[in-house]
Structure 1
Amino acid sequence: MMLSDRNIPIADDLIALLTATGTEPRPDNQLEALTLAVAADLPVLLWGEPGIGKTATLEQLATGLGLPLTTVIASVHEPSDFAGLPVVGDDPAAQGVPMAPPDWAVQLVRAGKGLLFLDELSTAPPAVQAALLRVVLERRVGALRLPPGVRIVAAANPRSSAADGWELSAPLANRFVHLQWTYEHEVVVRGLNGTWPRAVLPRLDPDSLPGAVARARRAVCGFLEARPTLVHRLPDSEARRGGPWPSPRSWDMTLRLVAFATAAGVSREVLSMLVRGTVGDGPGLELLAFIDRLDLPDPETLLADPAAAVLPQRGDLRQATLDGVIEAVRKRPDRARWDAAWAVLVRALETGAPDLVVVPASTLAALRRDEWPVPAELERLAPVATLRRRVAAAR
C-alpha cells in the first residue's frame, strides 16, 4: 500500500506517540557513576557494544540536566575541525594567523553551557585523536575556549565491534574516566514500555565538602606514599594503553572523584566503577582496600569504651577491626586493655556473625598472663567451653 500525502501527518502522529516517553527515579549504578563524573567536570568515555543505548542515555542525560546536547561524530571529522582552520588576515606578520573554530564550538560558547558528546571515538584515526587532546583536557577548540558550563562525554565501541576501529591513543585515553556501559534487561523492557531511569546530578552535602576533600587527599596521597610504583605505570600493550591506567593526571582525577563520591554519599559500587575507570582495575581495587582501612574504627577508641563500640557491618571490615583491636593489645598489653578487648568481642558477638569472633578470641586468649583471671565477659562468648579450654591452655 502506498503512503499518500494525507497519511504522512497521521504517520507522524503515530511516531510521536511511540517516541513520547517518561522517566522515573530508579537505582542505577552506571547512571549514578556517569552523573557524578559529569558533576565533577571530568571527561567520561562510555565503552559498550553498538546498539545498547549509549547515545540515548546521553540524550536523556542532557534533557534531565537542562543542557543543550551537541553531538560530534569524531570519525567523520578532520583534525582541523578540532584544532581550527587557519584564517589569514590583512597582515599575518603582525597579527598572526588565528585558528577559526567550527560552528558547533561557537554555538556552545554562545550558550555558555552544554553537553558535548563525542561519539564513535574508537573509529577516529590517530590524527583526529591527536587533535582532540586539547579539546578534552584544555577545553580549547581552535582559538576558542569552551566555557566552564560545558561537560564532555564520549562513547566508543570495542575494537572488535567498531567499524574500522582504532585503539585509543594513550595520551587521549588517560584524559578520560572510562565506564563500561552495559544494559539491564528489566531497564530496557521498562524503557521500551515508555519509562526510562531518570538522570539527575548527585546531591552534595555542603557541610561535608571540607571533610570530603580532606578524606580524598588522605586516601589518595596516603596510598601513593605506600605504593610509589603506582604513581605512573604505562601499560605494556597497546590495547591496555587505550583504557584507564595510573598517572599523576589520572590520580588527580581520582582524588576529585573520591571527594565528590564522599560528599554525595554514593555507594561503594559506584565509587569502585569510577576509581577503576580512572586508574585501572588493579590500582583501583588497591585504593579501595586502602580507603576501607582508613574508615575502620580506631582500636584505641574501641578499647577506651567497648560498650559504645560501633563496628562495621561488612564482614571483612569487621574482621579487620577486631584484628586491629587484638594487635593493639599485643603491642601494649596490660590487664585493663586485655579485659576491654574481651568486652569488644562481646559487643561484636551481639551485633554480628558469631563466627567472626572465634579467631580474634583465640588470639586474645594467647596473650593472657598467669596473673590475669579469666574475664567474666568470656561467659557470654560461644562456645564457652572451647574458649575456656583455650584460655587455660595458653597459661
Structure 2
Amino acid sequence: MPARSTLPARPQSTQLDVAADLLTLLGDTATEPRPDPQLEALTLAVAADLPVLLWGAPGIGKTAALTQLAAALDLPLTTVIASVHEPSDFAGLPVVGDDPATQGVPMAPPDWAVRLVRAGRGLLFLDELSTAPPAVQAALLRLVLERRVGSLRLPPEVRIVAAANPRSAAADGWELSPPLANRFVHLQWSHDHEVVVRGLGGTWPRATMPRLDPARLTDAVGYARRAVCGLLSTRPTLVHRLPTSEAGRGGAWPSPRSWEMALRLIAFAEAAGTSRDVLSTLVRGAVGDGPGLELLASLDRMDLPDPEELLADPAAAVLPERGDLRQAVLDAVVEAVRRRPDRSRWDAAWTVLGRAVETGAPDLVVVPATTLARLRREDWDVPAVIDRVMPVASLARRADETAERVAATTGASR
C-alpha cells in the first residue's frame, strides 16, 4: 500500500488574525465637521428627547448613521429588530410568584431593557419597524411614548430612534398604525453622493449635539408657544386631522401630541440657532407637510415688522427682502390704515410704499397702492410721494390689460 502524501498544515489561525487586522483597518474611519442637514435634524430631535423614525430605502445608510451617532455622543447603542420579536418582548413576560392573588403577576422586561437601565443612558435603535406586524406595533406604543418595558421604566437619558423602509421596499412590510406613527418625528433619510464617496474614503460627517444658548432658553420657549398657538387659534381644524389614506396615517400628521412635538422642536431650534431648512424638515416630520408649511409661514409672519411701527416712522421703514414677505408687510400697512383711517396715517402709508419702490421690486406696490388710493377722502391733499408710486401702478395695470388683449386676440384667431 503506497504511503499517503501529506501536505503542510495551513496556519489557519494566523490567516484569520491577518484577516482581522485587515477588517480593523477597513473599519478605521475618521469624522470631520461637515454641513449635513439631515444629520443635524436627527441630532436636534435626539437632543429634544423626541422619538425619531428614519424612512429610507434599504442600504441607504440608516443603521450606519445611528452607529456613528451613538459613537459620537458616547452613548451605548442597543439595537432591537422589531420584526423578529413577539409582543411580549416589549409588553413584558408574565412571571407568576408565590402568591399572585395578593402580589399580582409582574411583567418581566427583556434583557436589553435591563442592560439599558443598568447603564443609565443609551441609544435604543428599533430597526425594521415597518416589517413589525400590528400586534408588535401595538406593544411598542408604551415603549415609545412612556419609555416602559413591562414593569421597567427606561432612564430619562435613553433616546429612541427607529428606522423603517417604505412598504414597497420592505420585506413583507406593513403600514405603521396611526397611534404608533403619531408618536414619532418622521425624517426622510437619503444619501448624499459627496458624503458617501468621502465616507468610503475614510472620513464621514461628524454628528454633534446642538449648542443651546442658555441666554435664549426663555425667549425660545415663548417664541415657540406664540408660533404654535397663534396658528392653531386661526386654523382650529389643524389641531387634529387624521389622514384618510392608510399610507398617510402611517406618517406624520397633526394632533395635539404632534403639535407639542413641533413646539418643542421650534424651541430647541431657536435656542440653538438652527437653520430654517433643518427646522422645516423637523416641523414637517412632526405634523406633516401641509400643516408644517403653514406653521413655517406663521413663523415668517411673526418676524415681520409691526405695521403700526412703520406708520409711526415711515421714512426709516426697513422692509423684508423676500418678495412674499414684503408684499405681506405692505398689505398689512394698508389694512392698518383702512381699519383706522386718518390723514397722517394715509400720508405715512404712501411714504412706506415709496420706500418699497426705492428698495425692491416696484410691481409689489401695485395692489396696495391701488387699495390705498381708494381710501382717500375729499379733503386729503395728494402727497408728493404718490408721483413716484402711482406711475408704477399705472404701468403695471396697462401691462396687464395689454396681456389680456393679446391673450384674447390669440384665442379668437385660433
Q: TM-score, normalised on structure 1?
A: 0.91
Q: Could you list the runs of 5+ residues in structure 1 that have no partner in the other structure?
A: 391-395
Structure 2 CA distance for aligned equivalents of residues 385 and 115 of structure 1: 60
Aligned partner of 1:249 in structure 2 is 257
Aligned partner of 1:393 in structure 2 is none
1:34-183 equivalent positions in 2, closer than 5 A? 34-183=42-191
Shift of 1:244: 1.2
Q: Which of 252, 263, 270 is the matching residue for 2:278? A: 270
Structure 2 CA distance for aligned equivalents of residues 85 and 192 of structure 1: 43
One-letter amino acid of the structure 2 residue matched with residue 62 of structure 1? A
Aligned partner of 1:292 in structure 2 is 300
Structure 2 CA distance for aligned equivalents of residues 267 and 275 of structure 1: 12
Structure 1 CA distance for aligned equivalents of residues 352 and 261 of structure 2: 39
Cα 1:122/1:311, change in 2 over 3 Å: same
Q: Could you list the runs of 5+ residues in structure 2 that have no partner in the other structure?
A: 1-9, 399-414
Deviations 1:99-158 (A, max 9, x none): 111111111111111110000000111111111111000000111100100000000000
Of residues 377-386 and 212-221 in structure 1, the stretch that sits farther from structure 2 once superposed is 377-386
1:305-324 equivalent positions in 2, closer than 5 A? 305-324=313-332
Shift of 1:325: 0.9
Partners of 2:95 and 2:108 within 8 A in 1? yes
One-letter amino acid of the structure 1 residue matched with residue 45 of structure 2? A
Partners of 2:314 and 2:348 within 8 A in 1? yes
Structure 2 CA distance for aligned equivalents of residues 282 and 21 of structure 1: 40
- Find out whether 1:222 has 2:225 as its counterpart: no
Of residues 169-178 and 277-286 in structure 1, the stretch that sits farther from structure 2 once superposed is 277-286
Of residues 215-224 and 156-165 in structure 1, the stretch that sits farther from structure 2 once superposed is 215-224
Partners of 2:363 and 2:392 within 8 A in 1? no
Secondary structure of 2:158's counterpart equals strand
Partners of 2:37 and 2:278 within 8 A in 1? yes
Deviations 1:346-375 (A, max 9, x none): 333444334333443343344334444443
Please give the root-mean-square deviation of Cα atoms over the aligned residues, in Å: 2.3
Shift of 1:214: 1.6
> Which has the greater radius of gyration?
2
Deviations 1:57-109 (A, max 9, x none): 11111112121111111111111111111222222222222111111111111
Structure 2 CA distance for aligned equivalents of residues 173 and 282 of structure 1: 17
Deviations 1:18-41 (A, max 9, x none): 222222222222112111111111
Cα 1:204/1:348, change in 2 over 3 Å: farther
Structure 2 CA distance for aligned equivalents of residues 309 and 65 of structure 1: 46
Deviations 1:255-285 (A, max 9, x none): 2122222222222222221121112122222
Aligned partner of 1:356 in structure 2 is 364
One-letter amino acid of the structure 1 residue matched with residue 233 of structure 2? E
Shift of 1:376: 3.7
Secondary structure of 1:6's counterpart equals helix
Structure 2 CA distance for aligned equivalents of residues 307 and 65 of structure 1: 51
Structure 2 CA distance for aligned equivalents of residues 234 and 271 of structure 1: 23
Structure 2 CA distance for aligned equivalents of residues 321 and 58 of structure 1: 44
Partners of 1:378 and 1:384 within 8 A in 2? no
- Find out whether 1:15 has 2:53 as its counterpart: no
Shift of 1:378: 4.5
Deviations 1:319-343 (A, max 9, x none): 1011111211222222322222233
Shift of 1:164: 0.8
Aligned length: 388
One-letter amino acid of the structure 1 residue matched with residue 313 of structure 2? D
Cα 1:384/1:38, change in 2 over 3 Å: closer
Of residues 20-29 and 153-162 in structure 1, the stretch that sits farther from structure 2 once superposed is 20-29
